[in-house]
Chain A
Amino acid sequence: MAAVATCGTGAGSTGSVVAAGSKNHVTSFQRRGPRASGSDSSYSRLVSIAGTRPSVRNGQLLVSTGLPALDQLLGGGLAVGTVLLIEEDKYNIYSSLLFKYFLAEGIINGHTLLVASAKEDPADILQELPAPLLDDNFKKDFDEEACNHKTAESNIKMKIAWRYQLLPKMEAGPVSSSRFGHYYDASKKMPQELIEASKWHGFFFPEKSSSTLNIEPCSLTHGYIKLLQFIQNIIYEEGFDGSNPQKKQKNILRIGIQNLGSPLWGDDICCTENGNSHSLTKFLYVLRGLLRTSLSACMITMPTHLIQNKAIISRVTNLSDTVVGLESFIGSERETNPLYKDYHGLIHIRQIPRLNNLIYDVSDVKDLAFKLKRKLFTIEEEKEYTLNDLYKRLHLPPDLSDTVSRSSKQDLAEPSKLLGPGCGVMAGGKKHLDF
């Protein structure tokens, strides 16, 4: 701890402190960054954790979320010690896909996984993970795709493409030398041998709920208490928090929790408005405490559209570090809207943490849409259509397209916070069409 302290108070150094096992037995979440002096050996030890890299902005240790374009939007990746909250889309299609990408990334990088679910057995979830795209295979397909661009895309195979136009430095395909962030083929499964070689812990709530409750009653629901104990146990036993002197852990623990807050966990906030309003928030708080003091990163998917009490959603947002909302077009009016034909849904970056900093990386683009194309998951800025584009797309005579373009441009420009007004505007446009 002494070495750490002197480095911390070094003149001019912006606090880049490496946290090795400290005397206080707890590895506090500290920034790791380029340093002139100090224990370079421990710095290089931390940097050498597979699948991590220090952030350009503030030296934070980052892991990939499994989607390189999402990493870009979050300022390079998910910071170790933080919580990424995904607000699920209505039918939990795309959020479970993101969840699987997160876990698959952990397997590829050799991280330890902790999968918690109340709906599916973690072993089954792991069997469903997408296969990583090996570079040469992908390049072949990518060229193929470029040729087939003009032909009609078949709708049978799920296609996910990732292209983020505003960041010119990003290549369109996977970089063969990067060990940070991989691309996955959603149509293929992860090879069995990779899954078996990985280290993972599963928490399947229906199995664990039968055991007795040991701690004093507090306002957390039974499921959350058990999950917290499980996570804390793993962190302590495997030495992710540096407190166990025998175990020097040089790996990241990736925690994935699915459908948190749903009734399957025993929480009733999705059922009634006056449910147990503190259980989930307390859980998140203690979870964040656990994460901050260990080498772990967590992704939680939560069906926020089901939560009846809106105050809880804002509290949950404040208690999470990064919040990303997914809104799919399935079943909504936008599905048949020709302007949204290219996309499968919208992505809202609701919150990005300012860690160790007054400022944060935030992309300028706020209206983002995603689509599933051949092999990758793409996020793009919603396109601004010219009048000609609209005319062609909507097959309208020129005078009507004027009205439609104006109202739909409004729709595009509006930060897509509320589905209601946006659809209202479009519905208004459609009325003109019906005439």
Chain B
Amino acid sequence: DQLLNRPRSLSGPSGKLTLLCDANTDGSFLVHHFLSFYLKANCKVCFVALIQSFSHYNIVGQKLGVSLTVARECGQLVFLEGLKSSVDVFFRAQAEPHPLQFLREANAENLQPLYEFVREALKPVDDGEAAWRCPVLLVDDLSVLLSLGMGAVAVLDFIHYCRATVCWERKGNIVALVHDSGDTEDEENNILLNGLSHQSHLILRAEGLATGFCRDVHGQLRILWRTPSQPTTQRDQSLTYQYKIQDKSVSFFAKGMSPAVL
């Protein structure tokens, strides 16, 4: 991948929350990138995949150079396949609390079972086996939880708990995707998006072009670095690139510098 513009060093400060956001376009390429990035960097990843099936991520991952099947088998990847599990939860009563328990309940209060699942998945392994680097929680995507009956506050609480465990306690990172519904009045989604934006260290926002669909430039990516914990007088750094998604990678270029135009 040609995402050279972001200085990423895992030995540096961890405990970051990265917010992925898409508006008028599909930001899933960012999710695929982060998944392959962290797996290649030998991190232990817990992937809460609510939108697509395992094989979808696996096949795209192979194009990007990682094998999810291998990672899952050797314990590096803990994969919660939302679509498949939802069928199990919905049609059959489960003996133990299931992370997607809220699908069965009329008024689910919170996402505690899901949080317990994440905490269990990213528990540090003490028996001296291959030590993975920092734990990572990846969620694709949080807006679906709103569609499934959870309130925005419940989802924000869930992320808060996860941050406490993953980011602060275990010095890991969290990456989550939220859809920006734009001008449709999805208030719950806006609450979620704004709440997370204020907590994030890095915001990657994929937007469709204002002029509509274009074959050579698929969209625009805005990158914003923030320091939410310390009020600083420095302005947050921000960069904007336009991108085109290809079969195995994404190419970035400065605005107006698409190879098709030059």
**Chain A residues within 8 Å of B, Cβ to Cβ:** 5, 8-9, 14-15, 17, 26, 28-31, 58, 215-219, 228-229, 232, 278, 281-282, 285-286, 288-290, 292-293, 310-311, 313-315, 318-319, 354-359, 362, 364, 366, 415
Beyond A9-B69, A219-B107, A318-B179, whether A358 also contacts B86 by CB under 8 A is no
Residues of A within 8 A of B184 (CB): 310-311, 313-314
Set B60, B69, B90, B187: member contacting A358, Cβ < 8 A: B60
Distance between Cα atoms of A215 and B90 in the complex (Å): 9
Let me know if B186 and A415 touch, CB within 8 A: no
Across the interface, name the chain A residue whose C-beta is closest to B73.
A5
Distance between Cα atoms of A233 and B146 in the complex (Å): 28
Interface size band for B:
35 or more
Distance between Cα atoms of A281 and B145 in the complex (Å): 10
Beyond A9-B69, A366-B212, A415-B212, whether A357 also contacts B60 by CB under 8 A is yes
Let me know if B149 and A219 touch, CB within 8 A: yes
B102 smallest CB distance to A (angstroms):
9
Set B26, B85, B107, B179: member contacting A354, Cβ < 8 A: B26
The A-B contact count (CB < 8 A) is 133
Interface residues of B in 174-203 (CB under 8 A from A): 179, 181, 184-189
Identify 12 new A-B residue pairs, CB closer than 8 A, beyond the known A9-B69, A315-B186. A9-B67, A26-B84, A216-B93, A218-B105, A282-B148, A285-B83, A289-B85, A313-B184, A314-B179, A315-B147, A358-B247, A366-B212
Distance between Cα atoms of A15 and B60 in the complex (Å): 9
B91 smallest CB distance to A (angstroms):
6
Residues of A within 8 A of B91 (CB): 228-229, 232
State the main secondary structure of chain B at its contact with A.
helix
Let me know if A366 and B179 touch, CB within 8 A: no
Listed A/B pairs (17) with beta-carbon separation below 8 Å: A8-B58, A15-B59, A17-B55, A28-B54, A217-B106, A218-B103, A219-B107, A285-B83, A286-B103, A289-B86, A292-B53, A293-B84, A314-B181, A318-B144, A354-B26, A358-B32, A358-B250
Let me know if B245 and A318 touch, CB within 8 A: no
Residues of B within 8 A of A14 (CB): 59, 62-63
Q: Does B246 contact A (CB under 8 A)?
A: yes
Q: Does B213 contact A (CB under 8 A)?
A: yes
Let me know if B59 and A314 touch, CB within 8 A: no
A298 smallest CB distance to B (angstroms):
14
Distance between Cα atoms of A163 and B103 in the complex (Å): 45
Let me know if A285 and B58 touch, CB within 8 A: no
Distance between Cα atoms of A58 and B247 in the complex (Å): 10
Let me know if A288 and B188 touch, CB within 8 A: no
Residues of A within 8 A of B40 (CB): none
Let me know if A15 and B106 touch, CB within 8 A: no
B82 smallest CB distance to A (angstroms):
8
Counting from the closest, the 8 A-B pairs by CB-CB distance are A311-B186, A281-B147, A289-B83, A15-B59, A278-B149, A356-B59, A289-B87, A30-B55
**Chain B residues within 8 Å of A, Cβ to Cβ:** 26, 28-29, 32, 52-56, 58-60, 62-63, 67, 69-70, 82-87, 90-91, 93, 103-107, 143-144, 146-149, 179, 181, 184-189, 212-213, 215, 245-248, 250
B262 smallest CB distance to A (angstroms):
20
Let me know if A5 and B69 touch, CB within 8 A: yes
Let me know if B32 and A285 touch, CB within 8 A: no
Let me know if A366 and B213 touch, CB within 8 A: yes
Set B53, B55, B67, B147: member contacting A319, Cβ < 8 A: B147
Across the interface, name the chain A residue whose C-beta is closest to B54.
A28
A421 smallest CB distance to B (angstroms):
14
Set B56, B70, B149: member contacting A282, Cβ < 8 A: B149
Residues of A within 8 A of B52 (CB): 355
Across the interface, name the chain B residue whose C-beta is closest to A316.
B147
Let me know if A359 and B247 touch, CB within 8 A: yes
Residues of A within 8 A of B104 (CB): 215-216, 218
Let me know if B107 and A29 touch, CB within 8 A: no
Let me know if B90 and A286 touch, CB within 8 A: yes
Across the interface, name the chain B residue whose C-beta is closest to A24.
B84
Set A17, A29, A286: member contacting B87, Cβ < 8 A: A286
Distance between Cα atoms of A106 and B234 in the complex (Å): 63
Set A229, A286, A359: member contacting B86, Cβ < 8 A: A286
Residue among A9, A311, A313 having the largest count of chain B Cβ atoms under 10 Å: A311
Set B28, B187, B215, B246: member contacting A311, Cβ < 8 A: B187
Let me know if B87 and A232 touch, CB within 8 A: yes
Residues of A within 8 A of B93 (CB): 216
A292 smallest CB distance to B (angstroms):
5
Let me know if A319 and B144 touch, CB within 8 A: yes
Across the interface, name the chain A residue whose C-beta is closest to B246.
A359
